[in-house]
Amino acid sequence: MHIRSGITLTETVAMALVVVVVVTLAVVLSGPGCEREMGGHGYICMSSLNSISKAIIIYKGENDGEWPWLYDTITEWDKTAVGTNRDVSPFGEKDDPNNPKHRSVTSLMFMLVRMNQSPGMFRCPSDRNSEVDLETKADANDGDILEGEYYWDFSTPQNVSYSYQAPRYVNSTTYANGVNKNETEVVVLADMTPAATNPGWKPADVTELHGAALETQVSPNHNGKEVNVLRVGGDVQSHKRPDVGVDKDNIYTASGAPSAGSRSATSLDIRKHLSARDTFLIGPVAGKAK
């Protein structure tokens, strides 16, 4: 039997090349772009959306399969700041279903927290201004909320990095739940709309937009580079564009169409949100809570 006592020059070169390739890959994968593509904040954000999806399943299991909702008679969802009337129970003596107090759209998301789910899942790690809500329960009696009980909304806009499907406009005094449980491909929640941090933001027709122009139309959470979305059916996905709703609907605008969304829509008017197939994500609304 012949036993080799060393390695050839060819084998030495091959091994050296393998080392170079491994080192090069390590450098590339540790670069700033990789955090979004291969892990880091991007994956943590998607993990948060998966947690929200699971929390929704728990909520629906306790509420006859229905999505979070309050009263059809609540108005001004798109104008009401986070935390407004958080100390007033919508089912208590201080609120009237026929003339209910205003609520922020984030109060619908907070209904998951009231099911003992972590408020931290509503914070995207790439949203540098965000912070976990540490005041989800009252330290002492506060309005309708007794000591140790949950409030009815987050404390501040900084507690929420995501936008939620707007209620559907029926008429000036009536809104319906914007989520139809049967429309499984509709985006119901995603990285926050550019309108949340830029009151002067102007939506554009994104049909032909690319590059820097497109980035102005994508969530600021990831510097306009991507948007992570949660669909009604529970799927969590990452995209580079906002036109990822049903039939390439722009998820940050209202189409005005009675049955579907629109890729070219540029309206932020909630009165044009007429269909549950049209994703129109709003909130969190900044400002002083009333």
Distance of CA 146 to the CA centre of its chain: 30
Cβ pair 284, 163 in contact under 8 A: yes
Question: What is the pLDDT, as a whole number, of residue 16?
Answer: 55
Question: What is the pLDDT, as a whole number, of residue 282?
Answer: 98
Q: What letter represents residue 219's amino acid?
A: S
Residues forming beta bridges with residue 176, ordered by sequence position: 168
Is the model's pLDDT at 84 over the cut of 90? yes
pLDDT, mean over the chain? 88
Is the model's pLDDT at 242 over the cut of 80? yes
Condensed to tens digits (0 to 9), the pLDDT of residues 122-134 reads 999 899 899 999 9
Question: What is the pLDDT, as a whole number, of residue 288?
Answer: 72
Total-model pTM: 0.85
Please tell me the distance from the alpha carbon of residue 85 to that of residue 88, in angstroms, as a whole number. 5
Please tell me the distance from the alpha carbon of residue 183 to that of residue 181, in angstroms, as a whole number. 6
Question: What is the pLDDT, as a whole number, of residue 1?
Answer: 44
Question: What is the pLDDT, as a whole number, of residue 23?
Answer: 44
Please tell me the distance from the alpha carbon of residue 103 to that of residue 67, in angstroms, as a whole number. 16
257 band by pLDDT with thresholds 50, 70 and 90: confident
Condensed to tens digits (0 to 9), the pLDDT of residues 31-82 reads 343 334 434 566 778 999 999 999 999 999 999 999 999 999 999 999 999 9
Q: Which two tokens stand for residue 201?
A: 């933001």
Mean pLDDT comparison of 4-18, 35-49, 273-287, highest-scoring range: 273-287
Please tell me the distance from the alpha carbon of residue 15 to that of residue 159, in angstroms, as a whole number. 51
| Over residues 89-100, mean pLDDT | 94
Q: In terms of pLDDT, which residue wins out, 35 or 121?
A: 121
Strands (E), the chain: 162-165, 168-171, 174-176, 187-191, 227-231, 236-239, 281-282
| Over residues 243-247, mean pLDDT | 96
Q: How many CB atoms lie within 10 A of CB 247?
A: 14
Question: What is the pLDDT, as a whole number, of residue 28?
Answer: 38
Phi, psi of 246 (to 5 degrees): -60, 130
